[in-house]
Amino acid sequence: MKNLDINELNLNNDNEESFEYERVFAESLVDLSEELTLPPTALSIGDHEYKGFRYRNNTFSYGEFSAIVAASKTKKTFFKSALVAAYIGGQASRYFPNIRTHREGEPFIIDIDTEQGEYYAQRSFRRVAEMVGETYNNYLSFGLEGLDSNEIVRFIDELLQDRRYKGNIKWMSIDGIADLVDDTNDIKQSVQVANKIKRWRRENQMHINTVIHKTSTSDKATGHLGSAIQKKSESVILLKDTDENPEVKNSPIKVSQVYSRGAPFDPFHFKLNDETLPCECDIKNEDW
């Protein structure tokens, strides 16, 4: 397969002749007299009180994207699987009662893994069905570890335009968003990919959940790509191991929302149960 140049993919079209000023003007002019409502919620974590009433948190909205930020080996993929399972529904609420789906109908759900080989990617994809309790027919999982960054971007572009799925994809997870660029510290590529994600979620009115590593010295996402993703995300969720001793196996993982455009959820914890499935836990109760 030809090694494509990322600049050939028109991630950020610099061709002035193709810029449609009148269309952009009409679409971007904000009418202050129009009463707008919150974007519909795809998935919510927890709730909040407002004027004496309880409302679900608008954690993951349609037409927006989010980021899971964590160090290596902090069960990022497990938590990503938990979100996908929770969005599908079924028995997933048994594992995380505070995460609730707002899915309507039978939309397609795309789950992309760019980091793991076929065997481990399949294990993570099967975990979703185990948590749901059955196979969701419109769940499509892809292991793209064998593709380079340009090919991954091209594949997602083509997938979203595929007439079999176009317009009916409502959730997409990209586990390994850093693999969409050659270098996470390349400013131009990072901004281009962040803008590409914005376009994908806006044009398809779906939620895109991304997974990215944090730096070794702070809780910020890696590189210029991480900065661009965090700045443009609706929600940024940080995972941290509660025990930094590598000899301690299956210590609880703390989940907190470090950035939110809406009401943030309260921090909570999860571990792996006896079936190696992620499950919310009370860190004060060792017999959870």
How far apart, in whole angstroms, are the C-alpha atoms of residue 112 and residue 119?
A: 14
User: In the chain, where are the structural domains located?
Assistant: 59-281
How far apart, in whole angstroms, are the C-alpha atoms of residue 87 and residue 191?
A: 29
Q: Is 53 helix (H, G, I), strand (E, B) or coil?
A: strand
Q: Is 9 helix (H, G, I), strand (E, B) or coil?
A: helix
- Does the pTM exceed 0.75? yes
How far apart, in whole angstroms, are the C-alpha atoms of residue 230 and residue 244?
A: 25
Four-way CATH pick for 59-281: 2.60.120.10, 3.65.10.10, 3.40.50.300, 3.30.70.1880? 3.40.50.300
Strand-pair category, 108-113 with 139-143:
parallel
The set of residues, in sequence order, having a beta carbon less than 8 Å from that of 132 and lying 6+ positions away, is 85, 88, 89, 90, 91, 92
Helices (H) and strands (E) in the chain, counts: 6, 14
pLDDT per residue rounded down to tens, the chain (288 residues): 455 555 555 554 455 568 899 998 998 999 999 988 889 999 999 999 888 899 899 999 999 999 999 998 899 999 999 999 999 999 999 999 999 999 999 999 999 999 999 999 999 999 999 999 999 999 999 999 999 999 999 999 999 999 999 999 999 999 999 999 999 999 999 999 999 999 999 999 999 999 999 988 888 898 999 999 999 999 999 999 987 666 667 889 999 999 999 889 999 999 999 999 999 998 765 443
Determine the pLDDT at residue 243.
Answer: 78
Residue 217 identity: T
How far apart, in whole angstroms, are the C-alpha atoms of residue 132 and residue 94?
A: 9
How far apart, in whole angstroms, are the C-alpha atoms of residue 181 and residue 276?
A: 32
